Amino acid sequence: MTDAQVESGVLAGEERMLIDGELCHSDSGAFFEVVDPASEQVAGRVTDGSVADMARAVGAARRAFDETDWSRDLDFRYHCLIQLHEALERNAERLRRILVTEVGCPVTVSRSQIESPIEEVEHWAEHGKAFEYLVDTGIHPTQLGPARRRIHYEATGVVGAITPWNVPFYLNIAETVPALMAGNTVVLKPAQLTPWSGSEYGRIVAEETDIPPGVFNVVVSDANEVGAALSADPRVDMITFTGSTATGRAILAAGAATVKKTLLELGGRSAHIVLDDADFNAALPMAAMMACVMSGQSCILPSRILLPRSRYDEGLEILKSMMEGFPVGDPWTPGVMQGPQISETQRRKVLGLIQDGIDSGARLITGGGIPENLPTGYYTQPTLLADVDPDARISQEEIFGPVLTATPYDTDDEAVAIANNSIYGLSGEVSGGDVERAFAIATRMRTGNVTINGKSHFGITSPFGGTKQSGLGRRNGDEGYREYLEAKSIGMPA
């Protein structure tokens, strides 16, 4: 334990889950452990929710939607979400300690995972308050005479939110708060490696807000079957999910029987096209940093860098020196920007993919193993591979580690073709001296989002999501809010 942890006092998170307004333990009486990936020590425990607990939570959410005024009382929802915003602000430091402990997220980069989502709660409250739920589209001619038509936007119903471990608190908020503000009731199923970010959110809702019983439920569990039960339950109207493409496919299939509305934000293997007129000294250090920050455990990071052959060696040299000096270490140490991988299983997967890349002909420029000075904790060296074949497994699979793969190209068309050679289409990046040329390239990338010259596409007011097998639907922006609503057209006498 470090001094910062001792000073912080609280290490353990809430061990109970929230079902029907009650903070409770699983009927099974079982618990599972939360492991700190930086120390490899057990940090505490949490109740292990069962399929029966999930069924109870869905029943509570169904009743709260069908039998209370929640979906129709906009003013009350606004009141509750403003309360939630204030409550989360009061609990921000506790939530940060949980994030650093269960994810290994460096405290230095935790702002985007604590303060930003807390601010987003207020944003959604205001957005939902101002939203036009009733739109009169005027008089329409029909064969039976003129009809007035109105569009009424209504809550979808019971929303199941399934979240991953990489940015748990942020995604717990991003998947549930717009759903609640739009009038839905929610069952949240957090990832098994990061249950406290979810159980703590449940405690705050129960103890510090007027959100009624059943409107918001959290079921923590060590078993994938519990998430599967949520995604197959006929009483659930919609699933919102962030995670791997494989699990996304399973969720889509499970929802098919009851034609569930499904919002999916899945994997990525995004390309960064560096044009020959780019400012390498600005673009490449940033590219190396983006590959390693959060230990590469983010779906949107551009992790395939495409360099013009004419400046290939120059580019590799800049990337190498940045990666070799990258601050890796204990997440509580100020200045550290890359902590451990979330688990030994994940680290083994990352190291295995690196080896697979080398076996397929890639050249290891730096990294590729475990840092010698960090024998404890699931740390991985920042890794740069060059001459990477765009068709190789290392190019095609999501790595989720601090790994950047470099491939040379000769023409802009070839760069676009390599970028688009992927089952994924989440995001991308273009760096170039001529911004309009870079923009034209960005429009040719088959992805949901693109960053040009480091100017991020990502933010609460801009729609975010994937094309191809990176997902369905959008989060954020007005598009993101509408995902949780149904448009009902009503025809009436003119």
Give the chain's end-to-end CA distance (angstroms, integer): 71
Question: Which residues 6+ apart lie within 8 Å of 110 measured at CB?
Answer: 96, 99, 100
To ligand ADP, the closest distance from the beta carbon of 231 in angstroms equals 5
Stated length of the chain: 494
Pick the closer one to ligand ADP by CB: 35 or 415.
Answer: 35
Site string for ligand ADP, 282-311 (x = CB under 6 A): ------------------------------
Which one, 189 or 203, has the nearer CB to ligand ADP? Answer: 189
The site map against ligand ADP for 186-225 (x = CB under 6 A) is ---x-xx-------------------------------x-
Q: How far apart are CA 264 and CA 66, in angstroms?
A: 25
Q: Which of 273, 270, 287 is nearest to 407 (CA)?
A: 273
Burial of residue 154 (CB within 10 Å: 0-12, 13-18, 19+) is: middle
Q: What is the DSSP letter of 38?
A: T
**Residue 28 or residue 244: which is nearer to ligand ADP going by CB?**
244
Instruction: Please choose, out of 91-99, 209-217, 244-252, 433-441, the segment that lies near ligand ADP by the rule CB under 6 A.
Output: 244-252
Q: Of residues 101, 176, 199, 247, which one binds ligand ADP by CB under 6 A?
A: 247
Nearer to ligand ADP, 354 or 438 (CB): 354
Min dist CB 486 to ligand ADP, Å, is 23
Are the beta carbons of 189 and 230 closer than 8 angstroms?
yes
Asked if 484 and 144 touch (Cβ cutoff 8 Å), the reply is no
Given the complex with ligand ADP, which of 166 and 427 has the nearer CB atom? 166
Burial 319-343 (b: 16+ CB within 10 A, else e): bbebbeebbbbbbbeeebbbbbbbb
- The CB-of-129 to ligand ADP minimum distance in angstroms stands at 31
What x/- string results for residues 147 through 186 when contact with ligand ADP is judged by CB under 6 A?
---------------xxx----------------------
Asked if 65 and 77 touch (Cβ cutoff 8 Å), the reply is: no
233's tokens? 């339950």
Using rule CB under 6 A, residue 236 touches ligand ADP? no
Question: E-assigned strands of 37-123?
Answer: 41-47
Q: Which of 251, 271, 328, 386 binds ligand ADP (CB under 6 A)?
A: 251
The answer to whether the beta carbons of residues 458 and 464 sit under 8 Å apart is yes
What residues are annotated to the active site?
265, 299
Nearer to ligand ADP, 192 or 199 (CB): 192
Each residue 447-486 as x (binds ligand ADP by CB under 6 A) or -, in order, gives ----------------------------------------
Binding status of residue 37 toward ligand ADP by CB under 6 A? no
Stretch that binds ligand ADP, among 63-71, 173-181, 240-248, 460-468 (CB under 6 A): 240-248
Cβ of residue 251: shortest distance to ligand ADP, in angstroms?
5
Q: Does 260 bind ligand ADP (CB under 6 A)?
A: no
Cα separation, 359 vs 368, whole angstroms:
13
d(CA 388, CA 302): 15
**Minimal distance in Å, beta carbon 345 to ligand ADP?**
9
Residue 340 in contact with ligand ADP, rule: CB under 6 A:
no
**Which residue, 98 or 251, is less far from ligand ADP as judged by CB?**
251
- Strands (DSSP E) contained in 156-260 are 158-162, 185-189, 216-218, 238-242
Query: Which residues share a beta bridge with 475?
Result: 464
Contact with ligand ADP (CB under 6 A): which of 227, 339, 340, 382?
227
Distance from C-alpha of 258 to C-alpha of 287, rounded to nearest angstrom: 43
Planar angle of CA 122, 124, 126, nearest 5 degrees: 70
Interface contacts to ligand ADP, rule CB under 6 A: 162-164, 189, 191-192, 224, 227-228, 231, 243-244, 247, 250-251
